[in-house]
Amino acid sequence: MTKALILFFSLILTTSVFAEVTVKNLKFKTFGSKGVLKINYKGNLVDYPELKINQNSVYILIPNAKVKKTINKEVKFASKGKNTRLNASQLSTKVARIKVIVPFTINKVKEKVSLTLRDNQIELSFPKLAAETAYLNTAKKGKVAKAK
Protein backbone atom coordinates (compact mmCIF):
# COMPACT_ATOMS: atom_id res chain seq x y z
CA MET A 1 0.00 0.00 0.00
CA THR A 2 2.75 2.47 0.93
CA LYS A 3 4.67 1.65 -2.26
CA ALA A 4 1.55 2.42 -4.29
CA LEU A 5 1.13 5.78 -2.51
CA ILE A 6 4.78 6.68 -3.06
CA LEU A 7 4.49 5.80 -6.74
CA PHE A 8 1.25 7.81 -7.05
CA PHE A 9 2.73 10.96 -5.47
CA SER A 10 5.96 10.72 -7.44
CA LEU A 11 3.93 10.52 -10.68
CA ILE A 12 1.93 13.60 -9.68
CA LEU A 13 5.11 15.55 -8.87
CA THR A 14 6.80 14.47 -12.11
CA THR A 15 3.77 15.51 -14.16
CA SER A 16 3.59 18.94 -12.53
CA VAL A 17 7.32 19.59 -13.07
CA PHE A 18 6.98 18.97 -16.81
CA ALA A 19 3.64 20.73 -17.20
CA GLU A 20 3.28 22.99 -20.18
CA VAL A 21 2.94 26.74 -20.09
CA THR A 22 0.08 28.38 -22.00
CA VAL A 23 0.56 31.95 -23.22
CA LYS A 24 -2.59 33.87 -22.28
CA ASN A 25 -2.11 37.44 -23.56
CA LEU A 26 0.27 40.27 -24.45
CA LYS A 27 0.08 43.71 -22.83
CA PHE A 28 2.24 46.59 -24.07
CA LYS A 29 2.88 49.93 -22.34
CA THR A 30 5.24 52.85 -22.86
CA PHE A 31 7.02 54.28 -19.83
CA GLY A 32 8.90 57.44 -20.84
CA SER A 33 11.80 56.33 -23.00
CA LYS A 34 11.15 52.59 -22.86
CA GLY A 35 8.58 50.04 -23.88
CA VAL A 36 7.45 47.15 -21.72
CA LEU A 37 5.73 44.02 -23.00
CA LYS A 38 4.09 41.78 -20.40
CA ILE A 39 3.43 38.20 -21.45
CA ASN A 40 0.92 36.54 -19.15
CA TYR A 41 1.00 32.76 -18.99
CA LYS A 42 -0.64 29.90 -17.11
CA GLY A 43 1.30 26.90 -15.84
CA ASN A 44 4.77 26.19 -14.48
CA LEU A 45 7.67 27.71 -16.38
CA VAL A 46 10.41 25.06 -16.14
CA ASP A 47 13.03 26.53 -18.51
CA TYR A 48 14.09 30.14 -18.87
CA PRO A 49 12.89 31.73 -22.15
CA GLU A 50 15.47 32.44 -24.85
CA LEU A 51 15.91 36.04 -26.05
CA LYS A 52 17.02 36.77 -29.63
CA ILE A 53 17.52 40.19 -31.19
CA ASN A 54 17.81 40.77 -34.93
CA GLN A 55 17.74 44.14 -36.72
CA ASN A 56 14.31 45.56 -35.80
CA SER A 57 12.91 42.43 -34.14
CA VAL A 58 13.01 40.87 -30.69
CA TYR A 59 12.10 37.19 -30.29
CA ILE A 60 11.28 35.36 -27.07
CA LEU A 61 11.25 31.57 -27.38
CA ILE A 62 9.44 29.82 -24.54
CA PRO A 63 10.23 26.09 -24.25
CA ASN A 64 7.50 23.61 -23.24
CA ALA A 65 4.86 26.21 -24.02
CA LYS A 66 1.88 26.61 -26.27
CA VAL A 67 -0.22 29.38 -27.74
CA LYS A 68 -3.80 28.16 -28.15
CA LYS A 69 -4.76 31.00 -30.47
CA THR A 70 -2.29 33.20 -32.36
CA ILE A 71 -2.17 36.76 -31.01
CA ASN A 72 -1.48 39.71 -33.35
CA LYS A 73 -1.50 43.33 -32.19
CA GLU A 74 -0.31 46.67 -33.54
CA VAL A 75 0.53 49.37 -31.01
CA LYS A 76 1.78 52.96 -31.02
CA PHE A 77 5.35 53.29 -29.75
CA ALA A 78 8.12 55.17 -31.58
CA SER A 79 6.19 57.55 -33.84
CA LYS A 80 2.67 58.51 -34.89
CA GLY A 81 0.38 55.63 -35.70
CA LYS A 82 0.49 51.97 -34.80
CA ASN A 83 4.05 51.17 -35.85
CA THR A 84 5.04 48.35 -33.51
CA ARG A 85 3.77 44.82 -34.07
CA LEU A 86 3.35 42.12 -31.45
CA ASN A 87 2.83 38.46 -32.25
CA ALA A 88 2.48 35.28 -30.19
CA SER A 89 2.43 32.02 -32.13
CA GLN A 90 3.39 28.37 -31.95
CA LEU A 91 6.87 27.90 -33.46
CA SER A 92 6.99 24.12 -33.01
CA THR A 93 5.08 21.54 -31.00
CA LYS A 94 6.89 22.48 -27.79
CA VAL A 95 8.05 26.08 -28.37
CA ALA A 96 5.97 29.25 -28.30
CA ARG A 97 7.40 32.36 -29.96
CA ILE A 98 6.69 35.97 -29.05
CA LYS A 99 7.82 38.46 -31.68
CA VAL A 100 8.10 42.24 -31.31
CA ILE A 101 8.81 44.28 -34.44
CA VAL A 102 9.79 47.91 -33.85
CA PRO A 103 10.37 50.69 -36.41
CA PHE A 104 14.06 51.15 -35.55
CA THR A 105 17.24 49.07 -35.38
CA ILE A 106 17.06 47.62 -31.89
CA ASN A 107 20.24 45.66 -32.56
CA LYS A 108 22.19 48.88 -31.81
CA VAL A 109 21.01 48.86 -28.18
CA LYS A 110 20.63 45.13 -27.49
CA GLU A 111 22.50 45.46 -24.17
CA LYS A 112 19.57 47.59 -22.92
CA VAL A 113 16.98 44.90 -23.68
CA SER A 114 16.02 42.86 -20.62
CA LEU A 115 13.83 39.91 -19.76
CA THR A 116 12.35 39.46 -16.27
CA LEU A 117 10.19 36.70 -14.81
CA ARG A 118 7.68 37.29 -12.02
CA ASP A 119 4.19 36.20 -10.96
CA ASN A 120 3.26 34.19 -14.09
CA GLN A 121 4.54 37.00 -16.30
CA ILE A 122 7.48 37.38 -18.61
CA GLU A 123 8.40 41.05 -18.89
CA LEU A 124 10.39 42.36 -21.86
CA SER A 125 11.79 45.87 -21.48
CA PHE A 126 13.53 47.78 -24.27
CA PRO A 127 14.49 51.38 -25.09
CA LYS A 128 12.50 53.72 -27.29
CA LEU A 129 14.48 55.11 -30.21
CA ALA A 130 13.50 57.37 -33.09
CA ALA A 131 11.63 55.55 -35.84
CA GLU A 132 13.62 54.89 -39.00
CA THR A 133 11.97 55.63 -42.33
CA ALA A 134 13.12 52.33 -43.87
CA TYR A 135 11.30 50.31 -41.19
CA LEU A 136 8.20 52.47 -41.33
CA ASN A 137 7.96 51.83 -45.08
CA THR A 138 8.48 48.04 -44.75
CA ALA A 139 5.90 47.89 -41.97
CA LYS A 140 3.32 49.35 -44.36
CA LYS A 141 4.21 46.69 -46.94
CA GLY A 142 4.07 43.89 -44.35
CA LYS A 143 7.73 42.85 -44.56
CA VAL A 144 9.56 41.56 -41.48
CA ALA A 145 13.27 41.02 -40.82
CA LYS A 146 14.06 37.29 -40.63
CA ALA A 147 15.55 35.80 -37.46
CA LYS A 148 19.05 34.40 -37.75
Per-residue model confidence as pLDDT tens digits over 7-24: 455 555 444 445 589 999
The identity of residue 116, as a single letter, is T
Longest Cα–Cα distance of the chain, Å, equals 71
pTM for the predicted model, two decimal places: 0.78
SS3 label, residue 127:
strand
CA angle centred on 79, ends 77 and 84, rounded to 5°: 40
DSSP label of 108 = G
* Amino acid code (one letter) for 102: V
Cα 47 from Cα 95, distance rounded (Å): 11
- CB-CB contact of 115 with 100 (8 Å): no
- For the segment 41-78, what is each residue's pLDDT rounded down to a tens digit? 999 998 999 999 999 999 999 999 999 999 999 999 88
